[in-house]
Structure 1
């Protein structure tokens, strides 16, 4: 993937990882469209930045995604990079019956959202000649956190989907997976200042450096995520999962779940 001269669509681009990467790609000389539910937040991320644009998007609606794609392609026909970053994470316990609304919303946003967006843009990207799709998963796709089981399952699903997509489009559209570690963002309450999580600015700088490698790696993996990504191969999966389970139990106690 080239680093400049792109027109990039970043979903979930109003805050957190999405906004940080959108602004850094913009700084490199790319036109960037940030998309999400709250237009005011998106516009704040674009403030003072020429060629950075905000477009409202609700990935929970199939018809809404289709209408969004039509609008984006009409306004930005040079679009050549789709960045599926939007996602939600909810804490859950599996040892009791519960309202499944959070689990269902997580699946819709984290799995159906990227699939719908790829479907809406893939033919356009195939015609570009320099198209790329970046799917954001998580280190938790490889070792789950029992406190967020549906979230972890959705990221594992998108990891698998990305592998199939890569082979289907190989040689025609570049397909890249970005798997973050725990990063200080507002993904969950209190996460933006949580000790031990990677600072967002540090994460974004490392990600941009990895994207700058030629050829672009098929998986963008910062140093902090490697113990999760490589746990199965290194025989440390049980150990890493045990550590994460301990963190979940502490979280359950703090949140009275």
Structure 2
């Protein structure tokens, strides 16, 4: 993925990591289209950042994804990268009787969302030389946080999905890149914006873009702060890392 000349659609880019990366990709030379559910926020982003385009999309709604696909490709036929950024993270308590709605909502957004985006955009991406489909997993794909079991599971599924579709898509000319964030100071969970353990948003976004620039053929984008989670099992530190993670700030990854 050449971030100096890509045309990139980023669903889930009205705030947090998605917006931070979208702005940096634009600054590096990419044409960027941000996507999100709230039209007012999209209008604000377009007004504040000349050159960025915006398309409304709800990745939990198949019809919205299809409408966004049509709109994005009509306005940007040179599209050659999609970053499946949209996601939610909500606490669940499986010792009670009311966790199911949260779990189902998490699966629809975090797992079905990227799958549906892939189904919508891959037919086009396969026609573009040097195209890329970018997934976003989490350090929690590799070490579980007790309060978010379904979030952990969906991100583990995104990781393995990324590994599997890469085997199919790279020979077809589509690069699959997995971004693996640690906890970042965003509003993903209550209190996370102020967590001293979470990585500052600007530092995370800067490091990701530097890695994308330095390694345009990368499979995984791993900032230093996520490696203790990503490699906990293979390093023999899994049990200690699980204990450390769950004994400290609940937004530690």
The interval holding the TM-score normalised by the smaller chain is: over 0.9
Alignment correspondent of 2:159: 159
Q: CA deviation at 1:214?
A: 3.6
The DSSP-based 3-state class of the residue aligned with 2:48 is coil
Q: CA deviation at 1:102?
A: 1.3
Root-mean-square deviation (Å): 1.4
Unaligned runs of 5+ in 2: none
Unaligned runs of 5+ in 1: 252-257
Matched, 1:176 2:177: yes
Alignment correspondent of 1:211: 212
Alignment correspondent of 1:4: 4
Q: CA deviation at 1:94?
A: 1.9
Alignment correspondent of 2:90: 90
The number of residues matched between the two structures is: 250
Distance in 1, matches of 2:129 and 2:100, equals 42
The DSSP-based 3-state class of the residue aligned with 1:127 is coil
Alignment correspondent of 2:41: 41
The DSSP-based 3-state class of the residue aligned with 1:177 is strand
Q: CA deviation at 1:99?
A: 4.1
Q: Does the 8 A contact of 1:14 with 1:44 survive in 2?
A: no
Alignment correspondent of 1:126: 126
The DSSP-based 3-state class of the residue aligned with 2:91 is coil
The DSSP-based 3-state class of the residue aligned with 1:2 is coil
Q: CA deviation at 1:215?
A: 4.2
Alignment correspondent of 2:56: 56
The DSSP-based 3-state class of the residue aligned with 1:88 is coil
State how 1:139-150 maps to structure 2 within 5 Å. 139-150=139-150
Distance in 2, matches of 1:165 and 1:40, equals 35
1:52–1:215 Cα change, 3 Å:
closer
Alignment correspondent of 1:196: 197
Alignment correspondent of 1:137: 137
So what's the TM-score if we normalise by structure 1?
A: 0.93
The DSSP-based 3-state class of the residue aligned with 2:105 is helix
Deviations 1:116-144 (A, max 9, x none): 00010101001011210110100000101
The DSSP-based 3-state class of the residue aligned with 1:140 is helix
Q: Does the 8 A contact of 1:185 with 1:192 survive in 2?
A: yes
